[in-house]
């Protein structure tokens, strides 16, 4: 069996044609393709406004700045996520307050409540692997009178909302469902990632979905966020490039985080075949792993579907039973030697230098550490053939047996 990569992008003739169309159109940065992608994201998520940006990270910084986040503010995040979730908070001068997770990888709602202070401005739950958090509980928490009454508004947007903002880190979860609603419609704001390994990619990129309560005009906030993506400039590059369109103004200190059309073209082709092909194929892979690993007692399966949620199968986060971190690492070595690239999602943030230096300690997050120490993410993508899936399953089982059972 040839080597099996972890997560190659899905590039077929439709993707290539859409990119070539952008390249030959005479316009490669933000323009018609981005607009079309924003519309497709709205269709998929049953939303009316989505802003494309050049990464999840820049989208998160934009949203936090839009809400007026600054030094002295606190943003609650799970300890178990990619560092970008907390990094965006640090970039705004605020403090990420990390809380532990529950056994299904999602942020522990009870821990959120205990972490809320008068400085808390935002909660950022993360849909790890595409598995939605308990959004009813989180949304109920921020509207609870005892929590609302603690909220200290220090910007116009904060005063208008009058409570903690919920921004879901949906970097993994485009296409996931929670209580019949799609990711993108579950919290005030949702941010997707279109990084190269994501279910839908634009090479690098992301999108912010606006679902703010009715005290906001979501379209007005969409327009404001579009300005934020372009240095606060009141005219986009396309309009400015037209004959006679040279004059512009800069209205405020924005960012420069717009998505180029040539990148949007990849995502545009992919999103059009997402429900009919890409998601179906990801589910095939996840269900195949499920049927194999459920027959073996040493494995704990990741959640894929229950009565209220359905994953979009972004990662297959297998956990090993009765296994230490060192043994898990040895099992990964064995799997690697068999030519299969696997990964770990995630090294909890308190284990990373930048956060250790800020005083976070992994001992405070026992569930995050337990899940990390036993986790191996298996390859999952539409191109994966059934015989490759079989090979991966056997490679994982043989590696487990060798390391833990001396078999």
Ligand X SMILES: Cc1ncc(COP(=O)(O)O)c(C=O)c1O
| Distance between first and last Cα of the chain | 22
Residue 96 is given by DSSP the state: E
Closest to ligand X by CB, 172 or 328 = 172
Which residues in 94-153 contact ligand X (CB under 6 A)?
126
Contact set for ligand X, span 170-199 (CB under 6 A): 171-172, 193, 195
Identify the residue among 18, 74, 108, 169 touching ligand X (CB under 6 A). Answer: 169
* Smallest gap from residue 132 Cβ to ligand X (A): 13
- Burial of 398: CB neighbours in 10 Å, binned 0-12, 13-18, 19+: middle
The only residue of 84, 177, 259, 349 in contact with ligand X, by rule CB under 6 A: 84
**50: Cβ contacts below 8 Å, ≥ 6 apart:** 38, 41, 42, 184, 207, 208, 209, 210, 222
* Contact map string, positions 200 to 219, toward ligand X, x by CB under 6 A: ------x-------------
What 3-state DSSP class applies to 55? coil
Whichever of 38 and 399 has its CB closer to ligand X, that residue is 38
Nearer to ligand X by Cβ, of 126 and 225: the residue is 126
75 in Cβ contact with 64 (< 8 Å): yes
Closest C-alpha among 286, 225, 275 to residue 58: 225
Residue with tokens 């323009």, as numbered in its chain: 31
CB of 56 to ligand X, least distance (A): 3
Q: Site for ligand X (CB under 6 A): which residue of 49, 81, 258, 288?
A: 81
Considering only 85, 111, 187, 373, the residue that binds ligand X (CB under 6 A) is: 85
Q: Examine residue 258 and tell whether it contacts ligand X (CB under 6 A).
A: no
Angle between helices 325-337 and 386-405 (to 10 degrees): 130
Taking the complex as a whole, how short is the minimal distance between the CB of residue 23 and ligand X, in angstroms?
23
The verdict on 82 binding ligand X (CB under 6 A) reads: yes
Question: Helix, strand or coil for residue 57?
Answer: helix
Residue number with CB closer to ligand X (203 or 237): 203
Helix H or strand E segment including 189: strand 189-193
Candidate list 57, 168, 373, 377; residue touching ligand X; CB under 6 A: 57
Which residue is nearest to ligand X, using beta carbons? Answer: 56
CB 135 within 8 A of CB 187: yes
- Interface with ligand X (CB under 6 A): 55-57, 81-82, 84-85, 126, 169, 171-172, 193, 195, 206
């Amino acid at each position: 069996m040839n080597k099996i990569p972890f997560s190659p992008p899905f590039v077929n003739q439709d993707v290539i044609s859409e990119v070539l169309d952008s390249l030959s159109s005479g316009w490669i940065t933000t323009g018609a393709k981005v607009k079309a992608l924003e519309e497709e994201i709205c269709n998929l998520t049953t939303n009316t406004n989505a802003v494309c940006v050049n990464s999840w990270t820049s989208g998160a910084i934009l949203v936090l700045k839009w809400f007026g986040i600054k030094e002295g503010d606190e943003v609650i995040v799970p300890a178990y996520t990619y560092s970008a979730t907390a990094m965006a908070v640090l970039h705004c001068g605020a403090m990420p307050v990390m809380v532990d997770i529950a056994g299904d990888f999602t942020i522990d709602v009870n821990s959120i409540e205990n972490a809320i202070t008068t400085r808390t401005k935002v909660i950022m739950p993360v849909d790890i692997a595409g598995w939605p958090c308990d959004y009813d509980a989180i949304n109920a928490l921020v509207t609870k009178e005892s929590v609302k009454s603690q909220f200290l508004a220090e910007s116009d947007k904060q005063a208008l909302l009058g409570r903690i903002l919920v921004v879901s880190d949906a970097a993994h979860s485009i296409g996931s469902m929670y209580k019949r609603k799609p990711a993108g419609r579950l919290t005030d704001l949702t941010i997707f990632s279109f990084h190269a390994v994501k279910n839908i990619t634009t090479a690098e990129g992301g999108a912010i979905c606006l679902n703010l309560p009715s005290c906001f005009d979501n379209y007005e906030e969409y327009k404001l966020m579009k300005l934020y993506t372009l240095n606060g400039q009141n005219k986009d590059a396309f309009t400015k490039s037209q004959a006679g369109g040279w004059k512009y103004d800069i209205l405020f200190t924005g960012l420069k985080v717009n998505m180029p059309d040539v990148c949007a073209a990849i995502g545009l082709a992919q999103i059009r075949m997402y429900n009919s092909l890409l998601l179906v194929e990801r589910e095939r892979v996840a269900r195949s792993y499920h049927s194999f690993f459920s027959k073996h007692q040493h494995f704990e399966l990741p959640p894929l579907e229950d009565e209220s949620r359905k994953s979009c199968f972004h990662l297959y986060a297998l956990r090993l039973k009765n296994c230490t971190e060192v043994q898990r690492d040895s099992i990964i070595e064995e799997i690697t030697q068999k030519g299969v690239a696997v990964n770990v999602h995630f090294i909890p943030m308190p284990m990373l230098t930048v956060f250790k230096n800020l005083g976070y300690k992994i001992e405070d997050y026992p569930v995050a550490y337990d899940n990390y120490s036993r986790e191996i993410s298996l390859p999952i993508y539409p191109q994966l053939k059934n015989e490759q899936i079989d090979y991966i399953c056997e490679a994982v089982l043989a590696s487990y047996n060798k390391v833990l059972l001396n078999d």
